[in-house]
Amino acid sequence: MYWNYWNRRGLEDAITIVIACGIDSIVSRSYQAFGLNLTLEEREALIRENAELLYQAQRLKKDLNLAKEALAEPDILDDENWRLRQQIREMGGVPYDEQIEYISNNPNEPF
């Protein structure tokens, strides 16, 4: 309950501790149900291992989200580029690449 309280108060490591303790409890009870008795050191090693795996999973999830944002950026820039070209045309202008008759199949390719 103590760590769950701190988790709700915003302590980020508290959720890791709560989850690791829950995993330890489930694992130790499962082992006891099958007749395997773990020493305190073995249980602590499992807690550390599970906490490390949880941390790695959180880090990978964060990295995945950053990669998704980075891959979406060219599309966002293309949309912005198209919108700005439309504004230039609406004001009676001609976008620069059309002035020099530049044609490309890749809209992100520089001039």
For the record, the structure tokens of 101 come out as 């008759």
Locate tokens 């820039």: which residue?
Answer: 77
Joined tokens for residue 21: 């303790």
Q: Are 88 and 95 in contact (CB under 8 A)?
A: yes
Q: Where are the domains of the chain?
A: 2-91
Give pLDDT tens digits along the chain (111 positions). Answer: 666 666 666 666 777 777 777 877 887 788 889 888 878 888 788 778 888 998 999 999 999 999 988 887 777 888 888 888 888 888 888 877 776 766 666 655 554
Q: What is the pLDDT of residue 111?
A: 45
